[in-house]
Chains A and B, each alone.
Chain A
């Protein structure tokens, strides 16, 4: 089992551009949550997907959007990138019923906006 895989590992984008990050959940997991982690900070919840629907959303602007596919994989899209969007973006997968006690994180995507 490959666990949670995220791609790409790193990327550099220019202010104003758009970016798509991808996440494949651990086998058997149906829930995907996305987090933003700034340097020296804890993960901040962006949104959560279950059954291909956004179930919960954190305090992030509409520039952040996502999708979940029938195979449970997920994408995070960020439009009109700002310098402040530079961070580590983490994907966590879990079973819906145990999303806090059985959560597995991917290695993250390091996004740098210049």
Chain B
């Protein structure tokens, strides 16, 4: 079993839909949970991060962490074709340099007009 599991998709939705992207993990010691967006042929871009449990909102994006279930989610409201990309989750034990993040394999999202 991998430390971080993420369904590769692709997930195809119509423009305007609410998108839910998810990851599960096995290491209960993870404290920081990050979401990256990666466009084709580009490097990942950090969208947002959450410390420990709870929700965090940034514009159309909401990150949610359920540590009891070892499950994290990224919700995208009013999805746009420009949101079409691969979304990577990543997790680490702490924020600093000694702690290397573990990435999921990414979920490919396609938002069609």
Please report A residues at the B interface, Cβ cutoff 8 Å: 4, 6, 31, 33, 40-45, 48, 50, 55-56, 58, 90, 92, 94, 96-108, 110
Taking a contact as CB atoms under 8 Å apart, the answer to whether A40 and B43 are in contact is no
User: Which residue of chain B has its CB nearest to the CB of A91?
Assistant: B43
Taking a contact as CB atoms under 8 Å apart, the answer to whether B43 and A100 are in contact is no
Assembled-state Cα–Cα distance A90/B8 (Å): 20
Contact of A97 with B97 at beta-carbon distance under 8 Å, contacts A41-B105, A103-B46, A105-B45 already known: yes
A-B contact count (CB 8 A): 77
Chain B's interface: helix, strand, loop or mixed, by majority? loop
User: Which residue of chain B has its CB nearest to the CB of A107?
Assistant: B43
Taking a contact as CB atoms under 8 Å apart, the answer to whether A99 and B96 are in contact is yes
Taking a contact as CB atoms under 8 Å apart, the answer to whether A55 and B96 are in contact is no
CB within 8 Å of A: which B33-85 residues: 34, 36, 41-46, 49
Taking a contact as CB atoms under 8 Å apart, the answer to whether B95 and A97 are in contact is yes
Taking a contact as CB atoms under 8 Å apart, the answer to whether A101 and B43 are in contact is no
Taking a contact as CB atoms under 8 Å apart, the answer to whether A42 and B98 are in contact is no
Q: Which residues of A contact B105 (CB under 8 A)?
A: 40-42
Taking a contact as CB atoms under 8 Å apart, the answer to whether B95 and A58 are in contact is no
Assembled-state Cα–Cα distance A50/B79 (Å): 39
Q: Which 9 A-B pairs have the closest CB atoms?
A: A42-B103, A105-B43, A96-B97, A99-B97, A42-B105, A100-B92, A105-B44, A107-B43, A101-B95
Taking a contact as CB atoms under 8 Å apart, the answer to whether B104 and A42 are in contact is yes
30 CB contacts below 8 A, A to B, read A6-B43, A31-B97, A33-B100, A40-B106, A41-B106, A42-B4, A42-B103, A43-B44, A48-B97, A55-B97, A56-B100, A90-B44, A94-B97, A96-B97, A97-B95, A97-B97, A98-B95, A98-B96, A99-B99, A100-B34, A100-B92, A100-B95, A101-B34, A101-B46, A102-B46, A105-B43, A107-B41, A108-B41, A108-B43, A110-B41
